[in-house]
Amino acid sequence: MREYLLTLCVTAAVTYLLTGPVRKFAIVAGAMPEIRARDVHREPTPRLGGIAMFFGLCAGLLVADHLTNLSQVFETSNEPRALLSGAALIWLMGVLDDKFELGALIKLGGQMIAAGVMILQGLTILWLPIPGVGTVSVTPWQGNLLTVALVVITINAVNFVDGLDGLAAGMVCIAAAAFFLYTYRIWYGYGAEAAAPATLFSAVLMGMCLGFLPHNMHPARIFMGDSGSMLIGLVLAASAVSVTGQLDVEALNVNLGGTRETTHAMLPVFIPLLMPLTIIAIPAADLALAIVRRTWRGQSPFAADRGHLHHRLLEIGHSHSRAVLIMYFWSALIAFGALAYSVNSTSMWIVLGVVFLSVIGLLLLLLPRFTPRAPRWMERFLPPRYRRRGSVAALSPDASTPASAADQAASVRSEDRTPAVSGVSGVNGATAIGARSRLGDRSKAGTR
């Protein structure tokens, strides 16, 4: 565990320290696109944050290669090199997109090529663990197609959810933490060495997200861009492919005591093949809804809009920070709920706990629709948003009481609505009238 923590900290430190210089480089390079209709931010913000995240990934893998225990992962498996090759390709394409805005089909092709590069180096699905059946071998073509589909879907799910400050990095960090705990338990708890690469990938992914988050929280100083969102999506997909397609369920039967126990222990790995990735179920659901919504409207599935889940949270009245925290909550509930169920699938308390937290999540989700209103005698002690309309004037004991900020703003707006005189309105209009009258008086005096 200490070596994993060291790898995580090095990855986070390198990512954090490089993000500042990368931000300056993005400004100089002009990677600051204009505000679009679907954007939430109000000022042009530099992209290319994925550059710092990629070098953090390289630093984490380099440190792990020189540690006593983690170096065995590089000696017994080619998966770390396969991940680095695919990550370099998808990162390079993301950098070009952040600068030059590549087309959707070009990015889709690049994602498939990156998945193919990893497949050629051995990071692919070899068999599927089917509940109640056991290990089912797949042909090379079937495994390759499943791997490409899983990588492409995961990358686009993370890319679609990257719409608010700190949202994508935080949600992927939560997913990586849950996946790390699960794969660590499979490796050291049951002696399955095939789970070692996925454990390393999850630790490095957590470091990448944690190092970038301080610069990306609201208000964000820099965006990760497609160079970052597609990169962390690829790393997360590689972790799932590694532990799902490379781990032999039959080899665990000796340690777990039978097929039934193995099925329960491997449950969180079955579901990623179906959804994919229960640990990022929220981004996956957002991706599916976006495709259905855009196709129904006759648009391209890759056409951007403001119909994502985080946009809907803002529309119903949530603030930026609260919308992000709500998305964090649901991601953590699904990810760690699946993790707890894999540890003890017979406990009823886990199910009741998930149901209870789901109710709390729904209440938080609908909070803006149930804004409380306090009694009138308490309104002078509360913020203006909890007061009834017209109660501000009633709170003033006499006419000498200074007007509130809302009253002052209303008076300013009423002044702005003063009829214009010769294209000048409000106070400026009155000044213009006074100036004209003085000029008229002077001309009359000169005539006399």
Give the residue ranges of the annotated binding site for Mg(2+).
Answer: 159, 226
Rounded to an integer, what distance in angstroms lies between the CA atom of residue 206 and that of residue 201?
9
Q: What residues are designated binding site? A: 159, 226
CB half-sphere exposure, 254, CA atoms < 13 A: 4
Structure token digits, residue 158: 């993370």
Judge contact between 60 and 207, C-beta under 8 A: yes
317 Rama class: left (phi>0) / alpha (psi -120 to 50) / beta: left
Which H or E run includes 146?
Answer: helix 140-161
Rounded to an integer, what distance in angstroms lies between the CA atom of residue 347 and that of residue 350?
6
Looking at the DSSP bridge assignments, the partners of residue 127 are: 137
Rounded to an integer, what distance in angstroms lies between the CA atom of residue 167 and that of residue 228?
13
Judge contact between 217 and 202, C-beta under 8 A: no
Structure token digits, residue 27: 């400004």
Coil, strand, or helix at residue 142? helix
Structure token digits, residue 288: 């599916």
Which H or E run includes 137?
Answer: strand 134-137
Structure token digits, residue 309: 């889940």
